[in-house]
Amino acid sequence: MNIVEFGKGTTLIMPVITENENHVLEYGRIFLQEGKGCGTVGKTNSGNDFRMSKKDFVLKFTNTASIDVLIRSLNDLKEMMGDTYKGKVIEYNNEI
């Protein structure tokens, strides 16, 4: 299992879009680079020195609906990790 750890500010999170030759969006990706973060959670790097690497973890999205699903899951996890969760069951459905 490959793990990207969050919470220490050591992971660089870089969004990148890819267009075709007609400048039409083909897909978007989120690159996660361990050890390339700025060391402070919530602070961002400019990304000017970003270079793709074979060591990167990559999330690839071909539509925004799948991004919404990921955001919803992250929000659910955030709620579970918070003080107000206390064993609530989070139900999923196929609606966006």
pLDDT tens column, 5-59: 898 998 989 999 999 999 999 999 999 998 888 888 888 877 777 888 888 999 9
CB count, 10 Å around CB of 85?
Answer: 13
81-95: per-residue pLDDT in tens? 886 656 666 565 655
Extents of the domains making up the chain: 1-62, 64-96
Residue 41 identity? V
- Concatenate the DSSP letters of all residues of 9-68 into one string: S-EEEEEEEEE-TTS-EEEEEEEEEET-S-SSTT-----TT----TT-EEEEESSHHHHH
